[in-house]
Amino acid sequence: MKKLKIGGICLNNPVVLAPMVDITDAAYRKICKQAGASLAYIEMLNIGAILHKNKKTEQLMKLYPGEKPGAIQITGNNISEFKKVAPYLSKYDLIDINCGCPSIRITGNQSGSYLLRNPQKIKGMIRTMKDAGFTVTAKIRLGFKKNNVLTVAKYVEKAGADALTIHARMAYHGNDVPAEWKWIAKVKNNIGIPVIGNGDINSGKKAQEMLEITDGVMIARAAIGNPLIFRDILYYLNKGKEREKSFKDNLNLFIKYLELSKKYGIADISRIKYLGSNFIRGIPGAASWRQNLMQKKNIKELEEFAGTILNSV
Ligand SMILES: Cc1cc2nc3c(=O)[nH]c(=O)nc-3n(C[C@H](O)[C@H](O)[C@H](O)COP(=O)(O)O)c2cc1C
């Protein structure tokens, strides 16, 4: 199995969980890592909210006990704020800088994919975090013009980043437009730092295809409610065939997720229910199970509910 080396961090496989707002909390990261992900980032957090000690942000910043490597994704637009935030991030092993988020809430603040118009600024942000002693990655989209991705990637490398993740969609594309992996291959051929490919990987075969052109793969949507995608991908990389899906195994992980959510004080019940509705995707009778799930008011009720489904599949 190919390993993935990011600066001084050596990951024992090249399959990583993407940062995802409202998904990759401490409990979810833990079950994905147990399922085989070698790295899992805390979702994108705003530097301003970190500096202002926003309560929700502080909760999301928590690592689970023993989490290694601890990785977090940050977003911001102001290099002096990157300097200020460094002391708040000392417990993390890896900092990712978001240069790809297309949400108007982020681009309106001149961060996320807005930055792809200004690679010099991306370089300054990376340099600032490197100077503060961190292992640093950047996650980008292709940008506003396709050739732009090569220019941005070279700036990222020159800034001293330890790896680059490319989500192979234009800054303005939705997920209905297929990711264009050929641009990832072009970047890989033009820079020397590790490249992690992202976009539309939902099977062992797709992961293998991406790994033919990159050093690592990053999985987002296919991991929502399906942490076993990591086990399945590693199985394919080892054996060259897809592993059969197991609803029971996945439901057991939902139960584990609920248990960990309680343990880590993850109190956002609507977030937990959203994940739950994804865990039951594909199960016979999923639509009525989902309606039932939406009525649940707390984790205890969700645990009982998960137990009932488990006994029925
Ligand atoms: C619910 C959701 C939340 C996301 N949040 C983030 C985020 O916090 N940071 C980020 O860089 N990308 C975020 N993304 C984008 C993903 O990380 C990924 O780049 C994109 O979904 C393409 O990968 P996929 O085809 O494997 O889903 C998010 C995507 C989804 C579906």
Q: Give kind and range of the element (H or E) at residue 291.
A: helix 286-294
Distance CA 138, CA 188 (A): 14
Q: Which residues of the chain have pLDDT under 70?
A: none
Enumerate the β-bridge partners of residue 217: 15, 197
pTM of the complete model: 0.97
- Cα 305 to middle of ligand 1, angstroms: 28
Q: Nearest Cα to 228, choosing from 194, 205, 251? A: 251
Q: Is the CB of 43 under 6 A from ligand 1?
A: yes
* pLDDT of res. 247: 86
* pLDDT of res. 313: 82
Amino acid symbol at 138: A
* pLDDT of res. 1: 87
Two tokens at 284? 């016979």
* pLDDT of res. 245: 84
Angle at 30 between CA 287 and CA 9, to 5 degrees: 135
Q: What is the 3-state secondary structure (H, E, C) of 35-78?
A: HCCCEEEEEEEEHHHHHCCCHHHHHHCCCCCCCCCCEEEEECCC
Distance CA 231, CA 241 (A): 12
Share of the chain above pLDDT 70, in %: 100
Q: What is the pLDDT of residues 197-246, one digit of tens each?
A: 999 999 999 999 999 999 999 999 999 999 999 999 999 999 999 998 88
101 is catalytic: yes
Q: Is the CB of 165 under 6 A from ligand 1?
A: no
Q: Which residue, judged by its Cα, is nearest atom 31 of ligand 1?
A: 221
Q: Nearest Cα to 171, choosing from 98, 223, 76? A: 98
* pLDDT of res. 68: 96
Q: Is the CB of 21 under 6 A from ligand 1?
A: yes
Enumerate the β-bridge partners of residue 46: 75
* pLDDT of res. 43: 98
